[in-house]
Amino acid sequence: MTVTSHRPTAGDQQSDFDATIAADGRIEPRDWMPDRYRATLIRQIAQHAHSEIIGMQPEGNWLTRAPSLERKSILLAKVQDEAGHGLYLYAAAETLGMSRDEMLDLLHSGGQKYSSIFNYPTLTWADNGAIGWLVDGAAIVNQVPLCRASYGPYARAMIRICKEESFHQRQGFSILLALARGTDEQKAMAQDAVNRWWWPSLMMFGPPDGESPNSADSMAWGIKRFSNDELRQRFVDMTVPQAEILGITLPDPELRWDEESGHYAFGALDWSEFKRVLRGDGPNNAERVRRRKAAHDDGAWVREAATAYAAKQAARMEQSA
């Protein structure tokens, strides 16, 4: 145990923090940290938590209609995991001083965001496959480096989450594989889903490096480890061979292996649509938040009852003590 011999000054605190970051060490909840580091982390972890719970909706929507009991069971386990991930992440964000209720209020009011990918609709059963394969696939590429994020609670939450995400990605691939080996209608359903989800998945990595203003800080603080474009390329390189196994065509005529760079080259992304959806003019933005808020509001009386009961029980304990 280190006993500090003098009261630390702001300058000391900053240099301790910088030293920890430089040594690739972990910042823990009771450690001093710069306000902007804290604010950036709260924003990022809350957005991640919100994405998990909003992300339950597009697939949750198909639970009652899953076409086999085994698929139903696997999808239910997956959606349950998402709720669990939400719990880990809210807990991690709470260590930075914002309560889950505050974060939910910000989600409902639009003050905090969730991943824009969940504003697209799930039109057919095959969409559950495409989400698992592409969206969870992209999430893993984004998240694996976060297991080494400089903030301890976040890194530890991500380690637990990443373990489960790879099962999610495999179940998505498995849904598509069954369809790709199925009837002509099933094959068409799988291709249609991939056509719709491919480009939005690529956009999950965020704007091109030149247009990503917050990235530099996050890199410097050891929250982010790779640039948006690097991660996007990694995802494409990982996914193209899997598409070949599935026998599904990715909807990009410019996609090709580039011998020189050792990577797949792909077409330009249409950011105008991404920005429109981000702005709130997406097919499901309003519906997703409405439904989330309705669940929260409809459940207010339940939470109040639980609080009242706990208080009564505590009073009874005290009386009998």
Residues paired with residue 256 on neighbouring β-strands, in sequence order: 265
- Map the footprint of another protein across residues 239-258, applying CB under 8 A: 251
- Map the footprint of another protein across residues 111-150, applying CB under 8 A: 121-125
Question: Which token pair is 312?
Answer: 């009564």
- Map the footprint of another protein across residues 156-175, applying CB under 8 A: 175
Of 13, 14, 20, 61, which lies in the binding site for another protein, with binding defined by CB under 8 A?
A: 61
Q: How far is the CB of 265 from another protein (least distance, A)?
A: 19
Q: Is there a contact between 239 and 141 (Cβ–Cβ < 8 Å)? A: no
Q: CB neighbours (10 Å) of residue 302?
A: 9
Q: How far is the CB of 90 from another protein (least distance, A)?
A: 7
| 150 three-state secondary structure | coil
- Map the footprint of another protein across residues 26-55, applying CB under 8 A: 53
Alpha-carbon distance of 213 to 40, in angstroms, equals: 13
In the chain the first and final C-alpha atoms are separated, in Å, by 39
Q: How far is the CB of 295 from another protein (least distance, A)?
A: 4
Alpha-carbon distance of 242 to 138, in angstroms, equals: 13
**Looking at beta carbons only, is 27 or 92 nearer to another protein?**
92
Q: Is there a contact between 147 and 159 (Cβ–Cβ < 8 Å)? A: yes
| 95 three-state secondary structure | coil
**Looking at beta carbons only, is 220 or 311 nearer to another protein?**
311
- Map the footprint of another protein across residues 180-199, applying CB under 8 A: 182-183, 185-186, 192, 195-196, 199
Q: How far is the CB of 191 from another protein (least distance, A)?
A: 10
Q: Is 315 in the site for another protein (CB under 8 A)?
A: no
**Looking at beta carbons only, is 14 or 186 nearer to another protein?**
186
Q: Is 270 in the site for another protein (CB under 8 A)?
A: yes
Alpha-carbon distance of 38 to 210, in angstroms, equals: 25
Nearest to 18 by CA among 221, 160, 201: 221
Alpha-carbon distance of 158 to 149, in angstroms, equals: 9
Q: How far is the CB of 48 from another protein (least distance, A)?
A: 14
- Map the footprint of another protein across residues 284-313, applying CB under 8 A: 285-286, 291-292, 294-296, 298-306, 308-309, 312
The contacts of residue 118 (CB under 8 Å, 6+ apart) are 51, 54, 55, 57, 58, 284, 288
Q: Is 72 in the site for another protein (CB under 8 A)?
A: yes
Select from 30-38, 71-79, 232-240, 254-262 the region that touches another protein (CB under 8 A): 71-79
Q: How far is the CB of 202 from another protein (least distance, A)?
A: 13
- Map the footprint of another protein across residues 86-115, applying CB under 8 A: 86-87, 90, 100
| Greatest alpha-carbon span in the chain | 78
